[in-house]
């Protein structure tokens, strides 16, 4: 019974144009022939047959590489374009930034408190009495702890309480 391979991933399917070659491969093989054949015929008499043949192979190799090589579904020119973009055109430092949902909740709570204060302040000011309480605004990054600027630590390296514990 005849066996036919069917690919499961249709992105790997490439249409063949001539002699089982894709259009891309056919174009690069024709370019290789157009560049390498004249190189061989022009250098065969002056350099000798062996060296001219090596020169033909060397001039055709880049075209064969671009026609046949593919990594992760990308041809070499796309890989080269991506490499140049990442290596030279973009910044090397990419700061790590997160969306801190806790800080957003704290800001929202502050705004809610401020709205309540303003609403109650306008009601009392209309009646003639003035409310002296105000919502305290926190400065800095609300998601981080405030640095310990109070009393010095009583334990740790070099402190007598820390030494007494050991």
Summarised one tens digit per residue, pLDDT across range 49-87 is 999 999 999 999 999 999 999 998 899 999 999 999 999
Tokens 């399917």 sit at which residue?
13
What's the whole-model pTM score?
A: 0.47
What are residue 18's DSSP bridge partners? 21
Residue 36: pLDDT band by 50, 70, 90 thresholds?
Answer: very high
The structural domains of the chain, with segments of one domain joined by +, span 13-89, 100-135
pLDDT value at residue 43: 95
Share of residues in the chain with pLDDT > 90 (%): 44
Question: In 20-75, which ranges are continuous DSSP H helix?
Answer: 23-47, 49-68
Phi, psi of 18, deg, nearest 5: -135, 135
pLDDT band at 19 (very low <50, low <70, confident <90, very high): confident
Residues whose CB is less than 8 angstroms from the CB of residue 44 and which lie 6 or more positions away in sequence, other chains included: 52
The answer to whether 51 touches 36, Cβ cutoff 8 Å, is no
Decide which of 150 and 139 is more confident.
139
Burial code of 102-129, b = ≥16 C-beta within 10 A, e = fewer?
eeeeeeeeeeeeeeeeeeeeeeeeeeee
Residue 39 has which token pair?
Answer: 């190189």
Mean pLDDT value of segment 28-40: 95
Token pair 């790590």 is found at 96
Tell me what pLDDT residue 30 has: 94
**How many residues make up the chain in this entry?**
166
Residue 161's CB is within 10 A of a number of other CB atoms, namely 10
For 76-131, how does the pLDDT look when each residue is reduced to its tens digit (9 = 90+)? 999 999 999 999 998 888 788 778 888 889 999 999 999 999 998 887 665 554 44
pLDDT at 13 over 80: no
Instruction: Give the count of beta carbons closer than 10 Å to the beta carbon of residue 50.
Output: 9
């Amino acid at each position: 019974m005849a066996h036919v391979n069917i690919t499961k991933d249709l992105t790997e399917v490439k249409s063949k144009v001539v002699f089982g070659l894709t259009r891309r491969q056919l174009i690069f093989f024709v370019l290789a022939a157009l560049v390498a054949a004249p190189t061989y015929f022009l250098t065969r008499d002056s350099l000798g047959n062996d060296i001219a043949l090596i020169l033909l192979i060397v001039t055709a190799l880049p075209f064969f590489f671009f026609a046949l090589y593919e990594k992760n579904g990308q041809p070499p020119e796309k890989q080269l374009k991506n490499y140049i973009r990442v290596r030279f055109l973009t910044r090397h430092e990419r700061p790590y930034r997160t969306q801190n949902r806790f800080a957003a909740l704290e800001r929202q709570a502050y705004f809610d408190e401020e709205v309540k204060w303003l609403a109650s302040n306008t009601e009392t000011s209309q009646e003639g009495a003035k409310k002296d309480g105000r919502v305290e605004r926190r400065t800095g990054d609300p998601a981080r702890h405030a640095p310990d600027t109070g009393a010095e630590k009583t334990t740790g390296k070099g402190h007598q309480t820390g030494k007494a514990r050991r």
